[in-house]
Amino acid sequence: MHGTLDTWSVPVVMGVILLGGVVYLFMTSKSELAPQEDQGVVLSQIVGPPNATSQQMNAYAKQVFDISRELPEYDQMFQITGVPTTNQGIGGVLFKPWNQRTKSAAQLQQELQQKWNGIAGARVAAFQFPPLPGSQGLPMQFVIKTTEPYPNLNEVTQAILQKAQASGMFFYVDTDLKLDKPQTTVEVDRDLVATLGLTQQDIGAALGAALGGGYVNYFSIAGRSYKVIPQVLQVDRLNADQVLDYHIRTADGSLVPASTVARQKTEVVPEGIAHFQQLNSASIFGVYTPAVSQNQVLEFMQHALAEVAPTGYSADYSGVSRQFVQESGGFAVTLLFAVIIVFLALAAQFESFRDPIVILVSVPMALFGALIFINLGFSTLNIYTQVGLVTLMGLISKHGILIVQFANQLQRAGKSKRDAIEEAAAVRLRPILMTTAAMVLGVVPLVIAAGAGAAGRHAMGLVIFSGLSIGTLFTLFVVPAVYMLLAADHHAQRSSAGAGSDAGAIPVKG
């Protein structure tokens, strides 16, 4: 320590560099809302062709089930088809308890996704429940808003979707705006209808009775009540062309085929029309790989939108992505307020604005140590690591308090500023190391945690373990150097006060 204080400006410069490193590491670290916990279940989302029937969707669900039950970790499964539309289905594969299997839910998710990709005719996404409550759906949900018509919106959406598919960031990515649904419209010739003594309402009622499926009455058999549903047989309503073969009764009672007065027009329309905040919208949703984080995926989607979309298009978020964007922006403000509160408390305790600055110099040192491991990929910036960083600020400040308070007392006792900080650093070394060892060893169980719910504990434990260890090492050298730069010289003040009192004394003759 004596040699370090001979060139105390070097540790000060190092402290400034580390402060800049904290900003850089914070901006370049991967971030997400929360790490994915092993909840023992992988969900499936099945999307079939736009005109898929319930029988087709059941066949796709059967293939998903057959693939899932082949896993050694398989326990049971649930499936629902026909929600929210007839060509979609959801389900979930429940695994054995984590202590009875060798693979995590994340590993099984990747394995199932690879196998489900082989199902022909349908797109199947494998994903897990959100790590925090309050949202649902796939992990990435990017919304494109505009006042432009849907054909224009579809061009932009497809261009972004192609970029996402080519990026290699996603296991699965798709959009809810699809202009691929065939729609057949029956157009009635009004003149011919009038010639037959009918109206368009008569034509609509006749075709509606044949296809509608509404019940008109009930009848009772053996004590049970059944609906009376007038409808043509299923074999006569399998495709749209059969509609023109239905017969319509004219005003004179004769029957004519519907093709006499009507024709069909087939066109492609969107499967669904979505609005977000009263604007035309399209959502791109997907499951990203473990190699990228939530913020990297959303930043990529924002850049892709800026590259391909003209003016008049804007980005928004839904589901888990919206929760992440809303919650992640408050950490910097929270950390700033924490620093201000600690600074004011220390200023009141030391009756000085200099000493709190010297003490809080240790905070960037600890944050730097924690962010190094986050930046290297051992964890991410999430709600757990953010709590750990705020906790770390309070723990590491204790070291500075021990050194500065004792140094001030030594100065007031008559030692010079240099001698006081050297002796304070040496005397307080033992309690600092004991405090550090107690906290570091105390969070080791969190660092090595495994199994269900271990992701959050590991993230918080890693931040405290690495930040406190590395921060303590830097604190022992940087804080004394900053003390030499900024702290008040109480010894000089004491000498001046003593000299002033002696000069003002009136000598008394004996």
Q: Could you give the angle at which helices 150-167 and 294-308 cross, rounded to 10 degrees?
A: 130
- CATH number for position 315: 3.30.70.1440
Distance CA(355)–CA(345), nearest Å, equals 11
Q: Report the C-alpha gap between 238 and 151 in whole angstroms.
A: 29
- The backbone torsions φ and ψ at residue 343, rounded to the nearest 5 degrees and listed phi first, read -60, -45
Residues 334 and 409 in one domain: yes
In Å, what is the CA distance from 447 to each residue of 363, 440, 450, 463?
21, 10, 9, 9
Task: Flag whether 285 is in a domain.
Answer: yes
Q: Mark whether 229 and 374 lie in a shared domain.
A: no
Please tell me whether residues 303 and 339 are part of one structural domain. Answer: no
Instruction: Measure the N-to-C terminal CA separation of the chain; round to a whole number of Å.
Output: 51
Across-strand partners of 262? 188
Q: Report the domain count for the chain.
A: 4
Q: Among 19, 18, 12, which Cα is nearest to 482's?
A: 12
Examine residue 510 and state whether it is found in any structural domain, yes or no.
no
Q: What is the largest CA-CA distance in the chain?
A: 148
**Residue 43 token pair:** 């969900």
Residues 405 and 474 in one domain: yes
Check whether residue 450 and residue 376 sit in a common domain: yes
Q: Does residue 507 sit within a domain?
A: no
Q: Is 59 found in the same domain as 158?
A: no
Backbone angles phi, psi at 264, to 5 degrees: -110, 145
Token pair 């037959």 is found at: 196
296 and 310 belong to one structural domain = yes
Domain identity same for 320 and 333: no
Residues 8, 469: Cα–Cα separation, whole Å: 22
Give residue 430's identity as a one-letter amino acid code.
R
What's the pLDDT at 491? 60
State the Cα angle at 121 between 115 and 122, rounded to 5°.
60
Contact call for residues 484 and 418 (beta carbons, < 8 A): yes
Tokens 């690879």 found at: 114
Q: What is the pTM of this model?
A: 0.81
- Boundary of a domain, candidates 253, 269, 285: 269
φ, ψ for residue 461, nearest 5 deg: -65, -40
Listed residues 62, 97, 128: the one ending a domain: 128
Q: What is the CATH number of the domain that holds 99?
A: 3.30.70.1430
Note whether residue 508 is domain-resident. Answer: no
Report if residue 470 sits inside a domain: yes
Alpha-carbon distance of 375 to 372, in angstroms, equals 5
Gap between the Cα atoms of 291 and 298, Å rounded: 14
CA–CA separation, 208 and 344 (whole Å): 77
The CATH number of the domain where 211 resides is what? 3.30.2090.10
**Alpha carbons 260 and 192: distance in angstroms, whole number:** 8
How far apart are alpha carbons 111 and 118 in whole angstroms?
12
Q: Which of 224, 253, 269 is the last residue of a domain?
A: 269
Q: How many helices (H) and strands (E) are present in the chain, helices listed first?
A: 18, 15
Distance from CA of residue 440 to its chain's centroid?
29
Per-residue pLDDT of the chain (510 residues; tens, 9 = 90+): 555 676 778 878 888 898 899 999 988 899 998 999 889 999 999 999 988 888 899 999 999 999 999 999 999 999 999 877 778 999 999 999 988 898 999 999 999 999 999 999 999 999 999 988 878 889 999 999 999 999 999 999 999 999 999 999 999 999 999 888 888 899 999 999 998 889 889 898 889 888 888 888 898 998 899 988 888 888 888 888 899 999 999 888 889 999 999 999 988 888 888 999 999 999 999 999 998 999 999 999 999 999 999 999 999 999 999 999 888 777 888 888 888 998 999 999 888 888 899 899 888 989 999 999 999 989 899 999 999 999 898 889 888 899 988 888 888 888 888 888 888 888 988 999 998 999 999 999 999 988 777 888 999 999 999 999 999 988 888 888 888 888 777 665 555 555 544 444 434 333
User: 231, 227, 236, 239: which is closest to 209 by C-alpha?
Assistant: 231
Peptide bond into 84 cis (omega under 30): yes
**Of 317, 323, 290, 278, nearest to 301 (Cα)?**
317
User: Domain limits at 63?
Assistant: 40-128
Burial of 61 per CB tally in 10 Å (0-12, 13-18, 19+): buried
User: Is 463 found in the same domain as 368?
Assistant: yes
Burial class (CB in 10 A: 0-12, 13-18, 19+), 97: exposed
Contacts of 161 (CB under 8 A, 6+ apart): 173, 174, 175, 284
Instruction: Tell me if 377 sits within 8 A of 450, measured CB to CB.
Output: no
**Is 506 a domain residue?**
no
Q: Are residues 163 and 296 in the same domain?
A: yes
**Does some domain include residue 504?**
no
- Kindly state the tokens that stand for 384: 């757990």
Q: CA-to-CA distance for 399 and 471, rounded, in angstroms?
A: 10
- The neighbour count for residue 51, using CB atoms within 10 Å, is 15
H or E segment to which residue 297 belongs: helix 294-308
Q: How far is CA 262 from CA 109, 218, 219, 257, in A?
A: 52, 33, 35, 9
List CB contacts of 430: < 8 A, sequence separation 6 or more: none
DSSP letter at 47 equals: E
Residue with tokens 């924002």: 302
Q: Which of 441, 348, 377, 339 is nearest to 30 (CA)?
A: 377
In a domain, 306, yes or no: yes
Indicate the helix (H) or strand (E) that contains 159.
helix 150-167
3-state secondary structure 418-469: HHHHHHHHHHCHHHHHHHHHHHHHHCHHHHCCCCCCHHHHHHHHHHHHHHHH
Kindly state whether residues 245 and 380 are assigned to the same domain: no
Q: Give the pairing type, strands 88-95 and 74-81.
A: antiparallel
Condensed to tens digits (0 to 9), the pLDDT of residues 51-91 reads 888 889 999 999 999 999 999 999 999 999 987 777 899 99
Same domain flag for 199 and 113: no
